[in-house]
Amino acid sequence: MASSSRFALFFLVALFSLSALLCRSPVAADEQEDEADPGLVMNFYKDSCPQAEEIIREQARLLYKRHKNTAFSWIRNIFHDCAVQSCDASLLLDSTRRELSEKETDRSFGMRNFRYLEDIKEAVERECPGVVSCADILVLSAREGVVSLGGPFIPLKTGRRDGRKSRAEILEQYLPDHNESMSVVLERFAAIGIDTPGVVALLGAHSVGRTHCVKLVHRLYPEVDPNLNPDHVPHMLHKCPDPIPDPKAVQYVRNDRGTPMIFDNNYYRNILDNKGLLIVDHQLATDKRTKPFVKKMAKSNDFFFKEFSRAFTILSENNPLTGTKGEIRKQCNMANKLH
């Protein structure tokens, strides 16, 4: 009888121990997964490739010295990549027989200089093969573009991995067009956590670069948009003499004639003076939700930089692939071959 009682007690203890172990197992697995995937962190490559960020910085500076417009391209890249579902360098993928590249969509008209990102990638690969993602290179080069043009240095987390699929089919669902209503623009950015002052600051990237005539002739022909500053119209007509410009022709208007190569708040003074080139520029300066922030940024470059840095950081962290998701591409313009 005593033997039977001891056996029963032993059985109960074993059963409770097993139950407790089973209950703990999912938690332990989650903890192990968290340890394996820290997500985005500062200095992600400090052990695996300590020189990564410095190499990207130096390469970006060298390329900017040789080709000034690379900085504009890098800044635009982060908008077109990170705003479309995930910050995973899907923008950089070339078209295949099955998929159209995001680079070749109408919404990406005028984007260029992708080959220089490959130069940066090659330099990083020579130091640390197969370690640093194209997604991180895209984001960090955008930061260097801002700095090269006189904008703020923005501390950014790294650890993104590269996607394998183009998002050309859904791009227009995420990326607002320059002729969209301000409500649509604000809604699209709010969906990724960027508030109204953040949107106003991000559009301040129009402080630099240029706009192709294709994107603005509808404000000049057949009649001039009465919202345009009449003093600015002759310059626009001189730069865009054709009602139907050739998309391949070098016909552009500088976004900011005053300080075209400086990332500053002059853009906001221009749009308050009705000198914005795009419909979205005009709306930004007149919509009651955005105008107060436009006026504040026109007065304070520091406020512009502060809000831009905050919104840029949020954009750079939009739904990244981390841990074991995605891959580290060998070349930024194509996904790795799966064997």
Per the annotation, where are the binding residues for substrate? 176
3-state SS of 91-157? HHCCCCCCCCCHHHCHHHCCCCCHHHHHHHHHHHHHHCCCCCCHHHHHHHHHHHHHHHCCCCCCCCC
Three-state DSSP at 253 gives strand
User: What element of type H or E holds 165?
Assistant: none
Q: How far apart are CA 136 and CA 42, in angstroms?
A: 12
Per the annotation, where are the binding residues for heme b? 206
Q: How far apart are CA 148 and CA 214, in angstroms?
A: 28
The residues with which 93 forms a beta bridge, in sequence order, are none
Tokens (6 digits) for 72: 């504009």
Burial group, residue 95, by CB count within 10 angstroms (0-12, 13-18, 19+): middle
Tokens (6 digits) for 48: 């695996």
Residue 80 is among the residues annotated as catalytic for this protein = yes
Q: How far apart are CA 111 and CA 98, in angstroms?
A: 22
Per the annotation, where are the binding residues for Ca(2+)? 81, 84, 88, 90, 102, 256, 259, 264
CA-closest candidate to residue 132, choices 48, 57, 38, 41: 48
Cβ atoms within 10 Å of 137's Cβ, excluding its own: 30
The catalytically annotated residue of 67, 80, 282, 339 is 80
Structural contact between residues 174 and 61, judged by C-beta atoms closer than 8 angstroms: no
**Cβ partners under 8 Å of residue 266, min gap 6:** 207, 256, 258, 259
- Single-letter residue type at 271: I
Q: How far apart are CA 194 and CA 187, in angstroms?
A: 9
Per the annotation, where are the binding residues? 81, 84, 88, 90, 102, 176, 206, 256, 259, 264
Annotated catalytic residues are 80
